A = this chain, B = another copy of it.
Amino acid sequence: MYAERIESLRAMMRSRGWDAVVLTGSDPHASEYPAPRWKQVEWLTGFTGEAGDVVVTLDHAGLWTDTRYFIAAVRQLAGTGVELHKMRVPEQVPIPQWLAGRFEDDDPVIAVDSLCLDCSTAAALDEAFGDAPHAIVGVPDLLDSLWKDRPAVPQTPVSVLDDGAAGISREAKILWIRQFLENKGCDGILLSALDEIAWMLNVRASDIDYNPYVISYLLVTQDRVCWFVLKEPMDDPTTDGTFDLLSSEGIELLPYSDTAVFLSQEFEGRLFLDPASMNLNLREAINDAGLEVLEERSPVVLRKAIKTPAEIDGMTRAHVEDGLAMEQFLYWLETSLGRGCRITERDAALKLGSLRASIDGYRGDSFETISAYGPGAALPHYVTPSSDAPVLERHGLYLCDSGGHYLFGTTDITRTVPLGPCTPLEREDYTLVLKGHIDLAKAVFPRGTAGCQLDVLARGPLWLSKRNFGHGTGHGVGFWLGVHEGPQDIRQNFNPQPLLPGMITSDEPGIYREGQHGVRHENLLLCTEAGVNDFGDWLCFRTLTLCHFDTSALEIRLLDESERRWLNDYNRWVYDTLAGRLPAEVAAWLRKKTAAV
């Protein structure tokens, strides 16, 4: 099927004179996860990983993805003729460089889906050719004529997030951004990133799985706020109420498809935009309209990452509720297996989902649950099969990475738990990863420190015994927004963004042994102030996540005194916080699980 689709694309390429087609795994808003309409890479190649771009030439088809998806890609691409190009490896050749090398001096015509290619990536593509002749042709919805049953742009009910929960009203956010525009000498800002728009307007929907966004653009000028959104009648009282409320506040609701035309006809002056989330198609339209533009990182990125006191309160509450579900899940898992029940990875994921769904304020999972036993857990981004999922056995390690969205916040937690006896290697890996997790969690650091300067705290204990993991240590987490957000992170790559009080970042080192087992321990950490002295202005982390770490799989000798103390303090805090709201038998079980070591 996929080989045929690629051939039909090649037929189109021949008829139009294209030498290469580039399709990204993103959408018109540079979203991390696209709605089905924009899953072009999956439609063309069958690859379902969350990060993958495709290049098709007349004699080659390639998928570019990173370490997380190598194993899955090999399996999913088998028989399609699509070759895997590895990224985040030392010998990586990114798409721009690969194309420039492939078509050196050939003056190629490269077609891109200009709706799903952001300006930064488009610029990189162009730059790779240097002075070599080449043409890049932007074609919106390039696959439309081949993809007969292509899904429509999604449209789901739009609700309002209470100002109190957000901590800043729409009105205050608009005032703030107008002040920003004045400082920058701009007359308007066009927000294109969906999480930034949801944050600005305090609105939520579910147009994208796991991401509570509304497909839209937002223009803010000194005297207008124009929201370009799908406005077709929905017969949905929530949406109607939201739209009425926003209209009553003077926010203009305009059709999503009119964005470019509106800008060219009604906007005057200098427009601020962020090339990282602006697609090439709209950017070219803005260019054609002759508008003066300032391209920089959107100010919403940083402001959104620094949570308000109300958001921090909500996130704290979310972690209590989520922790209650997690503990009941782990209790169910251990006792059911103990009774001899047959449980598949899928059963476990469903059980956890149902526990979360019963929480008041639950608004869906924050990403697809990874429920993985043994070798499955060795794939950091394993997808549990929907049928014939592996059965959990009463030995070795089970890994579950999951999270929930709630009206009051978002969670993301990974626990790896022993289902019975573990091998010495499983126990060592389990302990070393926990050691790395703890060393990062208990860090104290001067204001100005960036995540990449702390990353080795989590990796160092693994490195000492020559173990490592191929993904980042930590990502920013939104408030009922994306479970992955910037600008901060904790990883090896140089990202100069300092960690600031109010930022929430994950701490999730791991060890993965192909065909054997995987370990990952993940909590969310809130960056917070730790006092000022002669040596500087100090910050530290406060752990938000509430769920005990199992001590039975530990090699205690590998923890030093301060790590052991951290672990005991953490487990006691989990028990003290949750026990009163757990069923008696779960609380009693948790007391045993959290006994000091």
Contacts and interface: CB of A to CB of B under 8 A. Distances in A.
A456 interface: yes
Interface string A506-540: 00000001000000000000000011011110100
A438 to B, nearest CB: 12
Interface string A424-466: 0000000000000001001111101100111111001001111
Contact of A463 (B443, B465, B466, B467): B443
A242 interface: no
B467 A535 contact: yes
A446 B463 contact: yes
A533 B439 CA distance: 24
Given A453-B456, A457-B456, A494-B494, A530 B445 contact: no
A90 interface: yes
A270 to B, nearest CB: 17
A149 interface: no
Contact of A468 (B446, B457, B492): B446
A90 B445 CA distance: 15
Interface in A534-593: 534-536, 538, 560-562
Contact of A444 (B449, B464, B533, B560): B464
Nearest to A446: B468
B560 A466 contact: no
Nearest to A465: B444
B492 A453 contact: yes
Contact of A453 (B439, B455, B530, B560): B455
A154 interface: no
B456 A90 contact: no
Contact of A535 (B90, B468, B562): B468
Nearest to A492: B453
A439 B463 CA distance: 12
A448 B90 contact: yes
Contacts of A446: 463, 468
Contacts of A361: none
Contacts of A530: 466
Contacts of A492: 449, 453
A338 interface: no
Given A453-B492, A455-B453, A494-B494, A463 B448 contact: no
Contacts of A81: none
Point out which of A444, A463, A468, A530 has the most chain B C-beta atoms below 10 A from its C-beta: A463
Contact of A496 (B442, B449, B464, B494): B494
A261 to B, nearest CB: 35
Contacts of A560: 560-562
Nearest to A442: B464
Contact of A466 (B439, B496, B513, B538): B538
A564 to B, nearest CB: 11
A90 B446 CA distance: 12
A460 B457 contact: yes
A155 B560 CA distance: 58
B444 A466 contact: yes
A366 to B, nearest CB: 29
A513 B453 CA distance: 25
A466 B90 contact: no
Nearest to A90: B448
B535 A466 contact: yes
A536 B469 CA distance: 10
A577 to B, nearest CB: 25
Nearest to A445: B463
A338 to B, nearest CB: 34
A460 B454 CA distance: 9
A59 B27 CA distance: 58
A460 B443 contact: yes
A468 B535 CA distance: 6
A446 B470 CA distance: 12
A560 B439 CA distance: 14
Interface string A122-159: 00000000000000000000000000000000000000
Contacts of A455: 453
Contacts of A465: 444
A51 B446 CA distance: 25
Contacts of A443: 460, 463-464
Contacts of A457: 456, 460
A322 to B, nearest CB: 29
Point out which of A453, A530, A538 has the most chain B C-beta atoms below 10 A from its C-beta: A453
Contacts of A442: 464
A452 B452 CA distance: 9
Interface string A489-501: 0001010100000
A466 B531 contact: yes
Contacts of A460: 439, 443, 457
A538 to B, nearest CB: 5
A463 to B, nearest CB: 5
Interface in A404-441: 439
Interface in A74-89: none
A468 B537 CA distance: 11
A310 to B, nearest CB: 29
5 contacts: A444-B464, A452-B494, A456-B457, A466-B536, A468-B535
9 tightest A-B CB contacts, nearest first: A560-B560, A468-B535, A444-B463, A494-B494, A466-B538, A467-B535, A444-B464, A466-B533, A445-B463
Given A439-B460, A467-B535, 4 more contacts: A442-B464, A452-B453, A453-B456, A494-B494
